Amino acid sequence: MKVDHIGIAVKNLKEVIEKFQKVYPDLHFHTEKSKDGEMEIAFLKFENIEIELLESLKEESVINRFIQKKGEGIHHIALEVKNINESMDKLNNSHIRLINNKPKIGSKDSLVTFLHPKGFNGVLVELCQKKGI
């Protein structure tokens, strides 16, 4: 059981990284573009968790829409699971609403799916299964 990361919607990824570096000058992180090209993503590595910064690259992206509606801030929490299909089946059987009915390839080539915030107390929850598990 692990909270893999917390996703934060930001307007300017570099500025936010610099803020974290004021606290942790040796901060380790890596950046990548999302598969759909909608976002630039930075993963900041902490001991037991990562922070995922999400910057929109396109006007119509999910992150841009989120920021327009709610402003910058926490977008989702990601729970690591061993078998994403099994977890999705259990949630479906319990009528907990999923946003996607099939896992998709997310950052770092993990398999991901999202649960609807309406079914999870207002929190957007990502399930992720790491590559190679």
Q: Where does this chain bind Zn ion (CB under 5 A)?
A: 7, 52, 78, 126
Contact between 6 and 51 (Cβ < 8 Å): yes
CB of 25 to Zn ion, least distance (A): 25
**CA–CA dist 17, 42 (Å, integer):** 8
Cβ-based nearer residue to Zn ion, 4 or 95? 4
Residue with the CB atom nearest Zn ion in the bound state: 7
Cβ-based nearer residue to Zn ion, 91 or 110? 110
Cβ-based nearer residue to Zn ion, 52 or 55? 52
CB of 126 to Zn ion, least distance (A): 5
Nearest to residue 63, comparing CAs of 42, 80, 84, 88? 42
Chain mean position to CA 17: 16
